[in-house]
Chain A
Amino acid sequence: MTTVTSTARTSATAAPTVAELLSRLGFRPSGPSPAWLTQARHASLGWATARGFPTLKDEDWKYTRLGPLLDVPFERAGDGDGAGRRVSPAMIDALTIDAASTRLVFVNGLFAAELSLLTDLPEGVTVTNLASVLAEGGAGLEPFFSRPFGEYDHAFTAINTVLAEDGAFIQVAADALITAPIELVFLSDAHGPPVMANPRSLILAGPRSRVAVVETYAGTSGGVTCTNAVTQVVLDEGARVEHYKIQDEPDAAFHLALLDVRQGPGSRFSSGSVALGSKIARNEVRVRLEGEGAEAGIDGLYLPRGDQHHDNPILIEHAAPRCTSRQLYKGIVDERGHGVFNGRIIVWPDAPGTDASQTNKNLLLSDHAEVDTRPRLEILTDDVKCAHGAAVGALDEEALFYLRSRGVPYEAARALLTYAFARELLDLIESESLRTHVETLVAGRLSTDSDGTGAHSGD
């Protein structure tokens, strides 16, 4: 007996293929760029076209439905359609953490020199935009664009390689120290047709150097935008990089990002992130510990509400002996929000003495809030110390009663306890100006401050 099943798409408007999207975005492979880059773009185009878009069947994409994104007829931000015109200096001021810091601003993926601030930097430190480096041949950058495709790669990172024109370029020479965070601000602004941007940034920390970088993603409301960002970080021996990301794009925006980190011996990388905005946001982090004794601390706070979807796919690869990794992700999910933690630790056979931990905690503030949490450990060697755990819960009713019995109104007590849940992550931020900035953003999101009793930072 044979049953015939139709596999044809039934939706009226079929999602585009990778090739269709790229042709709409105006791929110009023969544009002015180094020959190796043109070659890398072609290779990525070929790979992405053959691979196709991820689907819910892909392990790393099973919680993020791409239909709403692929249904949007995105275009490349062009000259004549007014895209980017609504970004003002006042808007930048509001997003700036420290007015005196080095700041690179990108609008729809392209460098905006007039909104940026370049300050005097120590010798051996380069902070500029990627396009200017590529215009001079981009010596030494080929490996970042021509990496072989691996099992974790997907069409969106490949599309970024095909289309990326600009982004930040930060290079810190051996032993150079920059303590004040360098601020990278990525703004999306669509005035007419929906716009997609593909910023590409590189942070290269030389031996024993130290640098701090904050990426802020925001935008104007009204139009529909998609940010498809890739940031690559390489830490040489003994380098120390502190990275922070603030994702506060408008509610109609789509945000896809990859933070790809490679760590040399004895290097220390810390990354924190807070996700507040976007309709659908996927904030992917991949860290590969390649040198002995490297340490990584990867933290994240996500606060989806309304119909927001915040996905956090994390991959930590222990590929060298005696490395340490720690992850702490917390979700505060309200209304019909959907939070995802999809964390994976792989300990390769040549990584004895690995110490890895992974913790995900979620607070559900409404009956319709949803969380998927999936901490995963794959250990391919002996002699490892690994711990992981996940928790999903509501506010502690007894703590709520305790606060109310002391006169704290219900809404304020809720906000106070919710803020307290996030507090652990905020306390991990080293830079005081950055911590204050993020505390204000989070408190602003959680505050129900109609009578002056909302949650602000504790004493």
Chain B
Amino acid sequence: MMLKIENLHAQIGDNEILRGVNLEVAAGEVHAIMGPNGSGKSTLANVLAGHEAYGITGTVRFEDEDLLALSPEDRAAAGLFLAFQHPVEIPGVGNLYFLRMAFNSVRRRRGLEELDVMGFLALAQERMKLVEMDRSFMSRSVNEGFSGGEKKRNEILQMTILEPKLAILDETDSGLDIDALRIVAGGVNALRRPDRAMIVITHHQRLLDYIVPDRVHVMAGGRIVRSGDKDLALELEEHGYADLGLEVASDRSASVGATP
């Protein structure tokens, strides 16, 4: 099993956001995670990538290694990649410089040869075609002044360059028009391989028309409450979360609902 999450809890202060997540993802599989706002989807993605804001219990094994013991940079080197829901803007850091630095850092830790500027530029240009990105992006600061769609494409570009074993896409489709969605999905599909897995977090079934998942999970209240095949996504699209008889509300909103 590539990724094995057992009883994962995460909290910020007294606020427990993940309340016992269990998930297994095998190489070659694409898993979709759906669920209402506040159900813990993005927190799960951030915890897996190594964000340090959370208090965490439980176990996460990635290729039989203790993922939670690794720094974010070591997780990247081990083959984990998170496409952020809201990629941060970094003024003053050139996109090309950053990408090459990331690429070579990861390559070095994987014991692979680093690329010089010319070699990297050739690679980057080839990958940029996949996400239909203009060369001018390279000379701009990381994400600075990028539109929502450009930021998402930059995330996918980074993914195609870093070639992770496990990619987590956190609402990469949100805010994209249909053309941008097609481009992003095309970049993702180009990376599908038997030795690579993906976790696609989304609000909308729409994305799953382009990136067809092997498994669909529904998160609610900090847990995965239901799992199924791709038809589950269609069912959700049609009926919403409530009609599925899922316990979607968190404890707090449930008690609010009980108050007349």
State the A residues within 8 Å of B (CB): 396, 398-399, 401-410, 412-413, 416-417, 419-424, 451, 453, 458-459
A407 touches which of B73, B96, B117, B139 (Cβ 8 Å): B73
CA distance A421 to B141 in the complex (A): 12
A419 touches B77 (CB 8 A): no
Consensus secondary structure, chain A interface: helix
Q: Please name all residues of chain A whose beta carbon is closer than 8 Å to the beta carbon of B104 when the two chains form the complex.
A: 453
Which residue among B50, B93, B117, B138 has the maximum number of chain A CB atoms within 10 Å of its CB?
B93
A407 touches B93 (CB 8 A): no
Q: Please name all residues of chain A whose beta carbon is closer than 8 Å to the beta carbon of B158 when the two chains form the complex.
A: 406
B51 touches A401 (CB 8 A): yes
B1 to chain A, nearest CB (A): 23
CA distance A416 to B108 in the complex (A): 18
Q: Mark B31-65, 1 if CB is under 8 A from A, else 0.
A: 00000000000000000011110000000000000
B102 touches A459 (CB 8 A): no
Q: Please name all residues of chain B whose beta carbon is closer than 8 Å to the beta carbon of A413 when the two chains form the complex.
A: 73
Contact segment of B84-92, B177-185, B210-218, B245-253? B84-92
A409 touches B87 (CB 8 A): no
B84 touches A402 (CB 8 A): yes
Q: Please name all residues of chain A whose beta carbon is closer than 8 Å to the beta carbon of B84 when the two chains form the complex.
A: 402, 405
How many cross-chain pairs have Cβ atoms below 8 Å apart between A and B?
91
Q: Mark B123-140, 1 if CB is under 8 A from A, else 0.
A: 000000000000000110
Q: Please name all residues of chain B whose beta carbon is closer than 8 Å to the beta carbon of A399 when the two chains form the complex.
A: 88, 90
B166 at the interface (CB under 8 A from A): no
A405 touches B92 (CB 8 A): no
Q: Please name all residues of chain A whose beta carbon is closer than 8 Å to the beta carbon of B72 when the two chains form the complex.
A: 401, 404-405
B139 touches which of A398, A417, A421, A459 (Cβ 8 Å): A459
Q: Please name all residues of chain B whose beta carbon is closer than 8 Å to the beta carbon of A424 when the two chains form the complex.
A: 91-92
Q: How many B residues face the partner with a CB closer than 8 A?
A: 38
Sample 29 A-B pairs with CB under 8 A, ordered by A number: A399-B90, A401-B49, A403-B90, A403-B98, A403-B102, A405-B72, A405-B73, A405-B76, A405-B81, A405-B84, A406-B76, A406-B105, A406-B162, A408-B98, A409-B105, A410-B73, A413-B73, A417-B90, A417-B93, A419-B92, A423-B92, A424-B91, A451-B108, A458-B97, A459-B94, A459-B97, A459-B100, A459-B117, A459-B138
CA distance A421 to B91 in the complex (A): 8
Q: Please name all residues of chain A whose beta carbon is closer than 8 Å to the beta carbon of B82 when the two chains form the complex.
A: 405
B106 at the interface (CB under 8 A from A): yes
B226 at the interface (CB under 8 A from A): no
Q: Please name all residues of chain A whose beta carbon is closer than 8 Å to the beta carbon of B12 when the two chains form the complex.
A: none
B90 touches A420 (CB 8 A): yes
A187 to chain B, nearest CB (A): 33
In the complex formed, the residue of A with least CB distance to B87 is A402
Q: Mark B98-127, 1 if CB is under 8 A from A, else 0.
A: 101111111011000000010000000000
B50 touches A412 (CB 8 A): no
In the complex formed, the residue of B with least CB distance to A426 is B92
CA distance A407 to B164 in the complex (A): 11
Which residue among A405, A420, A421, A451 has the maximum number of chain B CB atoms within 10 Å of its CB?
A405
Q: Please name all residues of chain B whose beta carbon is closer than 8 Å to the beta carbon of A416 when the two chains form the complex.
A: 93, 98, 101
B94 touches A406 (CB 8 A): no
A407 to chain B, nearest CB (A): 4
CA distance A409 to B70 in the complex (A): 12
Q: Please name all residues of chain A whose beta carbon is closer than 8 Å to the beta carbon of B138 when the two chains form the complex.
A: 459
B94 touches A410 (CB 8 A): no
Q: Please name all residues of chain B whose beta carbon is closer than 8 Å to the beta carbon of A402 when the two chains form the complex.
A: 84, 87-88, 90
CA distance A399 to B87 in the complex (A): 9
A453 touches B101 (CB 8 A): yes
Say whether, besides A396-B88, A424-B92, A404 and B101 are in contact (CB < 8 Å).
no
- Known contacts A401-B51, A403-B98; 20 additional CB pairs below 8 A are A399-B88, A401-B52, A402-B90, A405-B75, A405-B81, A406-B76, A406-B102, A406-B158, A406-B162, A407-B76, A407-B106, A407-B162, A408-B102, A410-B73, A416-B93, A416-B101, A451-B108, A458-B92, A458-B97, A459-B138
Say whether, besides A405-B72, A406-B158, A458 and B109 are in contact (CB < 8 Å).
no
CA distance A412 to B100 in the complex (A): 13
Q: Please name all residues of chain A whose beta carbon is closer than 8 Å to the beta carbon of B98 when the two chains form the complex.
A: 403, 406, 408, 416
B71 at the interface (CB under 8 A from A): yes
B106 to chain A, nearest CB (A): 4
CA distance A420 to B94 in the complex (A): 9
Report, nearest first, the 8 A-B pairs whose CB atoms are least far apart.
A420-B92, A458-B94, A407-B76, A423-B92, A406-B102, A407-B106, A404-B72, A459-B97
Residues 150-201 (chain B) with a chain A CB within 8 angstroms: 158, 162
CA distance A423 to B72 in the complex (A): 26
In the complex formed, the residue of A with least CB distance to B114 is A452
CA distance A77 to B110 in the complex (A): 58
CA distance A408 to B97 in the complex (A): 12
Say whether, besides A401-B52, A402-B84, A407 and B97 are in contact (CB < 8 Å).
no
CA distance A423 to B104 in the complex (A): 23
B50 touches which of A404, A421, A451, A458 (Cβ 8 Å): A404
Which residue among A407, A409, A451, A453 has the maximum number of chain B CB atoms within 10 Å of its CB?
A407
In the complex formed, the residue of A with least CB distance to B83 is A405
B11 to chain A, nearest CB (A): 18
Q: Please name all residues of chain B whose beta carbon is closer than 8 Å to the beta carbon of A423 when the two chains form the complex.
A: 91-92
In the complex formed, the residue of B with least CB distance to A398 is B88
B49 touches A405 (CB 8 A): yes
Which residue among B81, B87, B98 has the maximum number of chain A CB atoms within 10 Å of its CB?
B98
Q: Please name all residues of chain A whose beta carbon is closer than 8 Å to the beta carbon of B117 when the two chains form the complex.
A: 459
B89 to chain A, nearest CB (A): 8
A420 touches B76 (CB 8 A): no
CA distance A417 to B141 in the complex (A): 12
